[in-house]
Structure 1
Amino acid sequence: MPRIALYTPSFAGGGTERVMLYLAEGFIARGHQVDLVVNEAEGAFRDQVPDGARIVKLDPARPLGGRLLILSASSWSDWKALARPVLFADKPDRQFPYLASLARYLRAQRPDALIAANSYCNLTALWARRLARVSTRIMVTEHNSLSFKILQKSVKGAARWRALLPLIGRVYSRADAVVAVSNGVADDLSAITGLPRGRIATIYNPVITPELAARAREPAPHPWLTTRDGIPVIVAAGRLAPQKNFPLLLQAFALLRRQRPARLLILGEGRQRAQLEALIGELGIGGDLALPGFVSNPYAAFSRAALFVLSSDFEGLGNALIEAMACGCPVVSTDCPSGPAEILEGGRFGELVPPNDAEALSAAMRRALDAPVAAEVLRRRGADFTLERSVEQYLALLFANRQPREAAGWRSSGGALGDHR
């Protein structure tokens, strides 16, 4: 059976990393050999690597060497676009020093295909194939809208990203397949990079796995979820980062608390914790709000919550929204680019509100608590985002019009290889 490599920076506890692990699980179940190629073999999801997957940790090169390799892997037409954001940056991106190690891995192991996740991994994978001179099929995937990622950057960071956009379009055109996790992300990628829309396929994330129902029945991660006092518990989940706009949720919850009893759990960790804790104090809602940190099994919370709320400014798809629905939990979401409206079919399965409108979000939360959508309706919609369906679509696109070769036995890659699970 073919060998498939999945390339992501680390095992950090984000939605993209979870998707890559689910894909690994699905490919292994179908008999494929799977390498999880990472820059750093650590993170919250490290202990969730599926049995049968091999971890391949790459080795970084020195910054100057990494920059020179990027030039050698690029066509002459790419050099002008590369000069500003990569070659003359004060702090070169942490991704590019791994280019040489990835090229060595491709040359030594020759996987049939490699799926990369996030823009820098995508670029690195395509440049590495050029350096390695191998026929490995490369699939690049975008999990967020690039235009909104740029808005979240500092002035300096945004300028660097804008300089990269024409390059992204040119380099992505050399991929065997380009995948976006929602139609909105696909539309945005085409518009902002000039990549033809017809070159971009939409494959929804593999969110619902066979194990989800069993994990949803595991012990609750917070005592509020099992307290029988009649006070509804609202749950949100995600990195404590600007994209998720948890300050908006705190403000909406404070408005809701003036009208009715409720509690709020925000599952996740991140650099905004101190800011959120300060805002909780200012709003006077600390007695009814908890930030328990990263939770490895959010399904046990979703299955017991009265409501799930997504307050993001932008999303690629919105995995947690799907997970909550699959657990039978009513949902409310901002109508942000790009996934929520697709998931909720314009509001059919949960109310959509304008982004950054605390009053509208609070009112929608109140209505959802008073008249929730039936759990079975939500579960049926969640079933449209299964691991099985996603794996089928990835494999069909990855090996379209090609008979994959039989993978050779394991070979050493000169220090780039890690361990088996």
Structure 2
Amino acid sequence: MSDAEFPDAWYLILSSRLIPDLDGGYTISTLARARQMTDAGAAPLLLTVDPGAVDAHAIHRATFVERGAAAASEVFRNLFDEAVAPAGGAADWLREAAHDGRPDPALEYRDVAGGTVSLPIVVDPDWHLTTAPIVVRDTTGEPVGIVDGFGALYRAWLTHLASELRAENDRPIVVICESRQLGELIVGWGDDRVRILHTVHTIHLEPPYREDSDLNALWRRWFEISPRFDAVLWPTAHQRADVRDRFGDAANDLVAPHAVPVPDVVVPSAERDAGRVVVLGRLAPGKRLDHAVRAFAHAAADITGARLELWGEGAQRGALEALVEQLDLTDSVALPGLTTDPGAVLDRAAVYLTTSAFEGQGLALAEALAHGTPVVAYDIRYGPRDMLAGGGGILVPDGDEDALAGALRRVSTDAALRERLSREAREAATTLSPARAMRTLAAACREALGRERRR
């Protein structure tokens, strides 16, 4: 067996939801992992548990396939789509999971899955941990029983799905869990032939995001259970080192960055617009795009044809437009909205700029490296330090807008520097290649399947 060959098993990628243009890099990287595993021969299924309508799920899947983000609509499975029997009412697996009981009279409920399931409305950050009754109904809408909370519901579906897959081919199952909330709910799943690998997409710290900062409250419980997963996949060595310094290395943890493909042909630096600076991502407070606008304003006078493009959508659009107008930058700063072709944006740019306060890895930065686009970035947790360790950009102290402006000025006005950084960027991107990512993931699966489950 080669390093990149996956063991003979069923592979399930478990996500809370997958909706086009929602959840930023999370959705992109989760779908990318599935495509890369498919290309490597593992053929995973993509499982979701969002209670949207069947028609909405079909539209989402078709959009992903049309964009090339998914191989086929058939690779997707959704719990609530499968909660309904062909003739209506609850599916057999859901009826079997239900027991006698009634709704909680203190809670409001909402009907999903065509009225087959009634979910309790729990207003709490830890809503997913509730054991409040979930009501299961027949074709007439009458209750046939209850399930004790979301965890019991999700595990019942996974147990049914595992049985269905094994009836087709009796082999072990590897679940790649992409969601912290789902990880908390399935860590106790008592199937000896299932291994759970848990990925990480984001930072675990509160502001100011230092190694000794408080843990994000949503992560405290997860760290208590993390040694029970068969592997934990951290996107950067920096984050894993911080976690090990704080919690030790009891977990079977490894560094497994989200991968990006490197184009066969890259636009040479000389053919790009030397004054074009681009940002890709949500227009959200954590991205600190006001820093990007102000730093660009300080540097623009020294850059011929200076132009800043903030690609994305989000809650900060209005505030950013007001800032651009206040600084009299309406002719040189644009907010073009979303793009479904980030590669084309990067291929035109002289510089990729990132001003985030925190990241999990920074998928857009990785894409910039793959396209040979020099990077200017704050040195934050997590991502830029790891990805630029071999060159490809300039790191500046976190929050230092003057240093940010200086780095923009240097790269935008020095053709030789841009050429060197572009070459380094391509080299740096090889560490994030799908081939390397799949070797790492296949090895983790082999190791997990080669011993008893940790749960």
Larger radius of gyration: 2
Match of 1:245 among 285, 288, 291: 288
Q: CA distance change for structure 1 residues 289 and 93 in 2, over 3 Å: closer, same or farther?
A: farther
Match of 2:43 among 33, 39, 64: 33
Deviations 1:327-356 (A, max 9, x none): 11111111111211111117x331110111
What is the DSSP-based 3-state SS (H/G/I as helix, E as strand, rest coil) of the residue aligned with 1:5? strand
Other-structure match for 1:255: 298
Select the structure that is richer in helix.
Answer: 1
**Matches for 1:171-320 after TM superposition, within 5 Å:** 171-191=225-245, 194=247, 196=249, 199-208=252-261, 212-213=263-264, 232-260=275-303, 261-320=305-364
Q: Percent identity?
A: 25
Q: CA distance change for structure 1 residues 159 and 120 in 2, over 3 Å: closer, same or farther?
A: farther
Q: CA distance change for structure 1 residues 95 and 241 in 2, over 3 Å: closer, same or farther?
A: farther
**Matches for 1:10-409 after TM superposition, within 5 Å:** 10-12=17-19, 13=21, 14-40=24-50, 41=57, 42=60, 45=64, 47=66, 48-51=69-72, 54-59=75-80, 90-93=123-126, 98-110=150-162, 112-127=173-188, 129-130=189-190, 133=191, 135-148=193-206, 161-162=216-217, 164-191=218-245, 194=247, 196=249, 199-208=252-261, 212-213=263-264, 232-260=275-303, 261-345=305-389, 348-371=391-414, 372-374=418-420, 375-400=422-447, 402=449
Measure, in 2, the Cα distance between the counterparts of 1:315 and 1:257.
Answer: 27
What is the DSSP-based 3-state SS (H/G/I as helix, E as strand, rest coil) of the residue aligned with 1:332? strand
What is the DSSP-based 3-state SS (H/G/I as helix, E as strand, rest coil) of the residue aligned with 1:286? coil
Shift of 1:187: 2.7
* Cα pair 1:150 1:161 within 8 Å, conserved: no
Measure, in 1, the Cα distance between the counterparts of 2:214 and 2:183.
Answer: 20
What is the DSSP-based 3-state SS (H/G/I as helix, E as strand, rest coil) of the residue aligned with 2:44? strand
Shift of 1:198: 6.0
Q: CA distance change for structure 1 residues 160 and 329 in 2, over 3 Å: closer, same or farther?
A: closer
Deviations 1:372-409 (A, max 9, x none): 143333212212211111011111102216369xxxxx
* Cα pair 2:14 2:178 within 8 Å, conserved: yes
What is the DSSP-based 3-state SS (H/G/I as helix, E as strand, rest coil) of the residue aligned with 1:291? strand
Other-structure match for 1:74: none
Deviations 1:53-84 (A, max 9, x none): 521123399xxxxxxx9xxxxxxxxxxxxxxx
* Cα pair 2:274 2:412 within 8 Å, conserved: no
User: What letter is aligned with 1:271?
Assistant: A
Other-structure match for 1:415: none
What is the DSSP-based 3-state SS (H/G/I as helix, E as strand, rest coil) of the residue aligned with 1:393? helix
Deviations 1:126-158 (A, max 9, x none): 24x24xx4531101111222004797xxxxxx9
Aligned residues: 356
Deviations 1:191-229 (A, max 9, x none): 56x3536632111211225xx447x78xxxxxxxxx99x
Shift of 1:188: 3.3
Measure, in 2, the Cα distance between the counterparts of 1:159 and 1:183.
Answer: 20
* Cα pair 1:106 1:136 within 8 Å, conserved: no
User: What letter is aligned with 1:399?
Assistant: R
Deviations 1:93-139 (A, max 9, x none): 46556534431232012271111124223223324x24xx4531101
Q: CA distance change for structure 1 residues 401 and 274 in 2, over 3 Å: closer, same or farther?
A: closer
TM (normalized to structure 2)?
Answer: 0.70
* Cα pair 2:230 2:252 within 8 Å, conserved: no
Measure, in 1, the Cα distance between the counterparts of 2:313 and 2:356.
Answer: 15
What is the DSSP-based 3-state SS (H/G/I as helix, E as strand, rest coil) of the residue aligned with 1:23? helix
TM (normalized to structure 1)?
Answer: 0.75
* Cα pair 1:11 1:45 within 8 Å, conserved: no
Measure, in 2, the Cα distance between the counterparts of 1:349 and 1:323.
Answer: 12
CA RMSD of aligned residues (A): 3.3
Deviations 1:281-335 (A, max 9, x none): 2222121111112211101111111111111111222221121121111111111
Gaps of 5+ in 1: 62-68, 70-88, 152-157, 218-226, 405-421
Measure, in 2, the Cα distance between the counterparts of 1:99 and 1:335.
Answer: 38
Other-structure match for 2:106: none
Q: CA distance change for structure 1 residues 145 and 373 in 2, over 3 Å: closer, same or farther?
A: farther
* Cα pair 1:34 1:53 within 8 Å, conserved: no
